[in-house]
A and B are shown apart, each in its own frame.
Chain A
Amino acid sequence: GENVEQHPSTLSVQEGDSAVIKCTYSDSASNYFPWYKQELGKRPQLIIDIRSNVGEKKDQRIAVTLNKTAKHFSLHITETQPEDSAVYFCAASWSGNQFYFGTGTSLTVIP
């Protein structure tokens, strides 16, 4: 199956700074790359996604970039706020038949 690697596993930033989380995947057939945020005790929630025909997507303070050639994609959070503190997961999917998650990044935004 697909192998999704995610780095870093933990990340601490000062409020207002940017946070970047990176993922790589192994299956070149993967064509859908969502990012999920999971707060303690809650279910994962989609925050942004990107498809293989797009290189970059932005939604307010959140952006995702995709490099299909290198098989990696990144999450960028700008102007971080304490409420951004959570665990973030990247995922890679191929036509809905696979849905594999990265190992997660625990983000702490320090006020």
Chain B
Amino acid sequence: GAVVSQHPSRVICKSGTSVKIECRSLDFQATTMFWYRQFPKKSLMLMATSNEGSKATYEQGVEKDKFLINHASLTLSTLTVTSAHPEDSSFYICSAIKTENTEAFFGQGTRLTVV
């Protein structure tokens, strides 16, 4: 299988600051990357879909100015949580696909805690 690495795995930040989470496909070029938020014992909620070189497509209810997504290359997408608040505390996880209609490979996730 392919490897997707997400960094950091855990981060604690102060309210009002910004946090950047990286998602890298280590051994393949990802046409598309997805960002999800997962609440405890809950499903993966799709936040946005990002394609290299174009603007991310955000799901309804997700603030694009709050959750900035940059897909700078075929192997890297970043999610920046701006002006973080305690309610942004969650588990964020990315996935990447090589081509359409194929397996999505997940990163290990990032546990964000805003204090």
Q: Which of B59, B101, B108 contacts A43 (CB 8 A)?
A: B108
Please state if A43 and B32 are interface contacts (CB–CB under 8 Å). Answer: no
> Is B34 engaged at the interface, CB distance under 8 Å to the other chain?
yes
> Is A93 engaged at the interface, CB distance under 8 Å to the other chain?
yes
Please state if B107 and A43 are interface contacts (CB–CB under 8 Å). Answer: yes
Please state if A96 and B41 are interface contacts (CB–CB under 8 Å). Answer: no
Please state if A43 and B93 are interface contacts (CB–CB under 8 Å). Answer: yes
Interface residues of A in 24-57 (CB under 8 A from B): 31-32, 34, 42-46, 49, 51
> Is A67 engaged at the interface, CB distance under 8 Å to the other chain?
no
What 0/1 pattern do residues 50 to 87 of B give for CB contact below 8 A with A? 00000001011000000000000000000000000000
* Number of A interface residues in the complex (CB < 8 A): 27
Please state if B60 and A1 are interface contacts (CB–CB under 8 Å). Answer: yes
Interface residues of B in 1-60 (CB under 8 A from A): 31-32, 34, 36, 41-44, 46, 49, 57, 59-60
A2 to chain B, nearest CB (A): 9
Chain A residues contacting B93 (CB-CB under 8 Å) are 43-44
Please state if A95 and B49 are interface contacts (CB–CB under 8 Å). Answer: no
Please state if B44 and A44 are interface contacts (CB–CB under 8 Å). Answer: yes
Please state if B100 and A96 are interface contacts (CB–CB under 8 Å). Answer: yes
**Residues of A in contact with B (beta carbons under 8 Å apart):** 1, 6, 31-32, 34, 42-46, 49, 51, 87, 89, 91, 93, 95-104, 106
CB pairs A–B below 8 angstroms (27 shown): A1-B59, A31-B101, A32-B101, A42-B108, A43-B107, A43-B108, A43-B109, A44-B44, A44-B93, A44-B106, A45-B106, A46-B103, A87-B41, A91-B104, A95-B101, A96-B31, A96-B97, A97-B32, A98-B46, A98-B49, A99-B104, A101-B36, A101-B43, A101-B44, A101-B46, A104-B42, A104-B43
